[in-house]
Amino acid sequence: MKTLVLQGIDTLVADGTLPEGLETRAVSVEPPRDPAHGDMATNAAMVLAKPARKSPRDIAAALAEVLAKDPGIANADVAGPGFLNLRLDPSRWFSIIPAVIAAGTGFGRSEMGQGQRVNVEFVSANPTGPLHVGHTRGTVFGDTLSNLLAFAGYDVTREYYINDGGAQVDVLARSAYERYREANGLEPEIAEGLYPGDYLIPVGEALKEKYGDSLIDQPEDKWLAELREFATEMMMDLIRSDLALLGVKMDSFFSEKSLYGSGRIEEAVESLESRGLIYNGVLEPPKGKKPEDWEPRPQTLFKSTEYGDDVDRPLKKSDGSWTYFAPDIAYHYDKIQRDFDMLIDVFGADHGGYVKRMKAAVAALSGDKSVSLDIKLVQLVKLFRGGEPFKMSKRAGNFVTLRDLLDQVGPDETRFVMLTRKNDAPLDFDFDKVTEKSKENPVYYVQYAHARACSILSRARDENMETSDEALAGADLSLLGRDAEMRLLRKISEWPRHVELAANHHEPHRISFYLYDLASEFHALQHQGKLEEEHRFVRPDAPDLTRARLALVRASMVVISTGLGILGVTPMEEMR
């Protein structure tokens, strides 16, 4: 459609109506908000008016004349300050239905990504226990974004960064050791600061199986390293199975620990050093507050301010060991070297202060390749139960694991609801509302539309009508044309556009909102059949009309099911 408009502009340039060399990038061709304005509208005349030194309405009129000659365009009207409203020939609209049916769940797939390699890092929870609700949103977001990008033609790798290098893994090992003692009939001493969770009991038992009682009363240095590894392995198995419950499968797990002692961190830091971005210095104390124990200490610093950060960031602690930032730099350096074109990190909003420095590091390390890094911050989920805030605390032991959540809510509802907000807006998650089966609950609303469509097709089969895709694709669609039908058709045709917008912005929630709108048009159309019998989809007395309507139903169903597929939600065929 846009190319048609651009061609029209070229024609006008050729015949001298418009000067040459105009910038047409700002020209947009979009469906107008108000359908009364036509099927498509372009701002071309207004954008071009100034450089062409002509009045927008004159340009629009000339363009209208050219475009009206195209057989696909029924008419072109100039409106308002210079909008050009185009009404398409109905046949052009109808042609989308057989296209959808033929493409099936491939409809809307885009080549936008051109096979570019994208690494999406998400979850990356510490390997010290099961996933809890706090991890859910980022997990769903990352996985859905990955689905979306794959659908838009990117080559996607889902990656989990295992934080198995830090002090929290020592804590894990010590906690596991107590459970190991417990398995050997001793009283565990879960000291303050250790992980008290029951999920470590099986780890203790597995340790007994492996080591018997040989580690009892041994000093820590005899077992710490081994238990770190052992317990981390078991925790990652646990996490993998938690992810599977949500339908998430990572392509790759990257161990932080593997960076230590391999020279990889040093290599990354040297790369920065060779660009003159490393120095030894003393940071200013943070302003506005007065830390009591502040004293200036020299540290190894990364000049992230050269890339837009506010202050330079330390790579080494004052005792000479690495800060957490150093291995993270090495990790991203590794991703760059693995030849990704685009990196996406999904973090919790509390990591906001981390964004600039990481972008600075990636910008510095990627050099000429200029690998892009997008960091998506996912805001908190506030839990509610029956409208009341639901507080949880690790201390009281009442924090909700992902597994607990899925016992009560189910993966489909969880995934959909987690995507009903922009990632950077907080989300209210009410245990009771998400399982409610009503219009208030978008999951059911969309599912219901799909189930209804299934039901209509099966109803048609009861009337001995053919509902195969082949039969429907051959329907005489010119029998359609009612307002509600055209609205639904228009919505269906918007699907590929929404896919590209969502993929471009890295905003999977747009898919949920689109599906809600689509379902809404479908319900509205369906309802007309309730009011007037002649508007029913299935009309045994009018087989050709029925076939055309069923084709529309089928196309709606295909798009809903495709969209739900991207969200990782199973479309339901019935909802009893």
Partner RNA sequence: GGUCCGUUAGCUCAGCUGGAUAGAGCGCCGCCCUCCGAAGGCGGAGGCCAGAGGUUCGAAUCCUCUACGGACCGCCA
Taking CB under 7 A as the criterion, which residues in 95-124 touch RNA? none
Minimum CB separation of residue 410 from RNA in Å reads 12
> Are residues 322 and 315 in contact, defined by beta-carbon separation less than 8 angstroms?
yes
How many residues bind RNA (CB under 7 A)? The answer is 106
Minimum CB separation of residue 310 from RNA in Å reads 4
Q: Which of 39, 57, 36, 40 is nearest to 48 (CA)?
A: 57
Cβ contacts of 18 within 8 Å, gap of 6 or more:
9, 12, 48, 52, 54, 59
- Residues 529-545 as b or e (16 or more Cβ within 10 Å = b): beeeeebbbbbeeeeeb
Minimum CB separation of residue 206 from RNA in Å reads 24
Q: Is 391 in the site for RNA (CB under 7 A)?
A: no
| Distance in angstroms (rounded) separating the CA atoms of residues 547 and 538 | 8
Three-class secondary structure of residue 465 per DSSP: coil
Near RNA in 462-521, by CB under 7 A: 497, 501, 504-505, 507, 509-510, 513, 516, 520
Q: Is 232 in the site for RNA (CB under 7 A)?
A: no
- Residue 295 CA, chain-centre distance (Å), reads 43
| Closer to RNA by Cβ: residue 324 or 399 | 324
Over the window 144 to 173, marking each residue x when it contacts RNA by CB under 7 A and - when it does not, the resulting string is: -------------------x-xxxx-----
Minimum CB separation of residue 309 from RNA in Å reads 8
Near RNA in 32-91, by CB under 7 A: 32-34, 36-38, 41, 43, 46-47, 49-50, 56, 79-83, 85
Q: Is 396 in the site for RNA (CB under 7 A)?
A: no
Other beta carbons less than 10 A from residue 329's beta carbon: 29
Q: Is 538 in the site for RNA (CB under 7 A)?
A: yes
Q: Is 530 in the site for RNA (CB under 7 A)?
A: yes
The CA–CA distances, whole Å, from 80 to 9, 41, 60, 76, 89 equal: 20, 12, 11, 13, 23
> Are residues 444 and 438 in contact, defined by beta-carbon separation less than 8 angstroms?
yes
Q: Is 297 in the site for RNA (CB under 7 A)?
A: yes
Q: Is 422 in the site for RNA (CB under 7 A)?
A: yes
Contact segment (CB under 7 A) with RNA among 108-116, 136-144, 246-254, 533-541 equals 533-541
Binds RNA (CB under 7 A): choice among 218, 252, 318, 478: 318
Cβ contacts of 480 within 8 Å, gap of 6 or more:
94, 486, 489, 548, 549, 552
| Closer to RNA by Cβ: residue 286 or 367 | 286
| Closer to RNA by Cβ: residue 206 or 545 | 545
Alpha helices for 441-542 (secondary structure H)? 442-462, 469-473, 483-505, 509-531
The CA–CA distances, whole Å, from 228 to 128, 169, 262 equal: 10, 6, 18
Q: Which helix (H) or strand (E) holds 266?
A: helix 264-274
Q: Which of 75, 45, 71 is nearest to 60 (CA)?
A: 45
Q: Is 291 in the site for RNA (CB under 7 A)?
A: yes
Q: Is 437 in the site for RNA (CB under 7 A)?
A: yes
Minimum CB separation of residue 313 from RNA in Å reads 8
HSE of 538 in the Cβ direction (CA atoms, 13 Å)? Answer: 17
Q: Is 8 in the site for RNA (CB under 7 A)?
A: no
Minimum CB separation of residue 287 from RNA in Å reads 4
Q: Is 390 in the site for RNA (CB under 7 A)?
A: no
Binds RNA (CB under 7 A): choice among 29, 88, 190, 355: 355
Q: Which of 501, 516, 506 is nearest to 563 (CA)?
A: 516
Residue 568 burial (C-beta neighbours within 10 Å; 0-12, 13-18, 19+): buried
Residue 569 burial (C-beta neighbours within 10 Å; 0-12, 13-18, 19+): buried
Contact segment (CB under 7 A) with RNA among 101-109, 174-182, 243-251, 350-358 equals 350-358
Alpha helices for 96-132 (secondary structure H)? 96-103
| Closer to RNA by Cβ: residue 211 or 516 | 516
Binds RNA (CB under 7 A): choice among 179, 228, 421, 491: 421
Binds RNA (CB under 7 A): choice among 69, 104, 524, 544: 524
> Which two structure tokens, joined as six digits, stand for 41?
């509208």
Q: Is 323 in the site for RNA (CB under 7 A)?
A: yes
Q: Is 258 in the site for RNA (CB under 7 A)?
A: no
Q: Is 311 in the site for RNA (CB under 7 A)?
A: yes
